[in-house]
Amino acid sequence: MKPSKSLHNRLIRHLREWHRKLGIIAAFFIIFLSITGVALNHTTTLSLAHKPISNVWLLDHYGIAPPNDIRFYQHSSLQVTNNLVWLDGKLLLESSSDIVSAGVMSANVSNDTIVDVFVIVSQASLYIYNNQGELLDQLGVEAGIPEGIEALSIDNDLVIVKTASGYYQSDSDFLYWQAISPLIEPLWISPQPVSLEKEQQAALAYRSQFLTIERIILDAHSGRILGLVGVLFMDMVAILLILLSLSGVYIWIRYAKNKR
């Protein structure tokens, strides 16, 4: 019995030694998982889902590509990135069709009050926003908007659009559109040239909206931020914690029995 007891004591001694070493390593992962878990539990309070990531390396890591189409209108206050329109950095519109152009015109909004409004046209819709970025009206094909818009012109506060079937002009209230044949080609609104730095800022703003702090924390918590390797690594960490728990319980039971 003595050799068996001596072997058992050596086993317990080695088990305690490995338990202590692995416990120190596991402590870092426990702290990390606890912090990220608490953050995820309070993601609404901390608004983590609404805080975009602007780190280029992370955006590249997630494969979020820059927009193919970047344009600026109205002294760069209006930005178009693919099918999104921004006003001074605030997202105004996400269109289901390609954005054609944007401009400014005077409009009678209420009580004979004349104000400048933004007119944004896609291939099949017309949107009107005030200077605060509030949507005043949205008109589609069902409201008489010509289909297949290719270009936009604003002349004397009247909107003219170019389509494959010809030119159309609206009344001041956008209730009626009539085909026209102007003697002089309308002055179509074209994008304004900007610096490379401004284009890069617009591209970064476009990419950032697809990646938030909440997504980063969630993927880090699960290991998915490193792909399959990260997931397998976190599985190993979970197994390590299970083994530590089992060995700890075993050591405690043996210690309790020896004290009796």
- According to the model, what pLDDT value does residue 211 have? 93
Q: Which two tokens stand for residue 49?
A: 């889902």
Q: Which residues of 241-257 are buried (b: 16+ CB within 10 A; e: fewer)?
A: beebeebeeeeeebeee
**Average pLDDT taken over every residue of the chain:** 85
Q: What is the model's pLDDT at position 8?
A: 58
Torsional sign, CA 165, 169, 171, 173: positive
Give residue 31's pLDDT: 85
Residues 204 and 225 in one domain: no
Both 124 and 96 in one domain: the answer is: yes
Same domain, yes or no: 241 and 123: no
The whole domain housing 71 covers 67-208
Q: Residue 117: inside a domain, yes or no?
A: yes
8-state DSSP, 150: E
Same domain, 168 and 94: yes
* Count of domains for the chain: 2
Q: Are residues 134 and 202 in the same domain?
A: yes
pLDDT < 70: residue spans in the chain: 1-16, 19, 108-113, 251, 254-260
Asked whether 205 and 88 are in contact (CB, 8 A), the reply is: no
